[in-house]
Amino acid sequence: MTNPLHGEARAGGRVAVGPAELPGPPGAGALAPGDAVVYGVRPEYLAYAAAPAKGALSGDVTVVENLASAQLVTLEGESGTAQVVVAEDAEDAEDAPGTTAWAVPRPDRVLPYREGALVS
């Protein structure tokens, strides 16, 4: 399952998704500023943070699902809905629904799409 986040390419290969400006993946130079982009990132390639982080999506925790050795945390915010896999023993893993959290993407694991086609 991938988080399809709708955004717009910016200068320097970055991607704006709502108010968040996220790091672009390798090859993002093929995107022109202003291009409509779907920023695809799997939940396991987002780092969960309980405090504001640069280059992160923010949102309210709406659902926390137990996956045995991890939790699947759903964030909903101005940038859209994103799911993050959080290790069960992670320090921040106890955040409850209603709290605000951040998700930081790994740029090397992001898949950018333009007009339905993968940009490489």
The predicted model scores a pTM of 0.89
Tell me which range, 22-31, 42-51, 63-72, is most confidently predicted by mean pLDDT: 42-51
pLDDT at 92: 62
The confidence score (pLDDT) of residue 93 equals 60
Region of poorest pLDDT, from 18-32, 44-58, 88-102: 88-102
Tokens representing 79 are 């940038």
pLDDT at residue 27 greater than cutoff 90: no
Q: Answer with the residue of higher pLDDT: 27 or 32.
A: 32
| Inter-CA distances, 69 with 19, 34, 72, 94, 113, Å | 32, 40, 10, 14, 31
Instruction: Indicate whether 95 pLDDT > 90.
Output: no
Give, in words, the CATH class of 3-118: mainly beta
Q: Are strands 36-41 and 20-22 parallel, antiparallel or unpaired?
A: unpaired
- Give mean pLDDT, residues 75-86: 95
How many whole angstroms separate alpha carbon 22 and alpha carbon 116? 20
Which pLDDT does position 57 carry in this prediction? 95
What pLDDT is attached to residue 117?
92
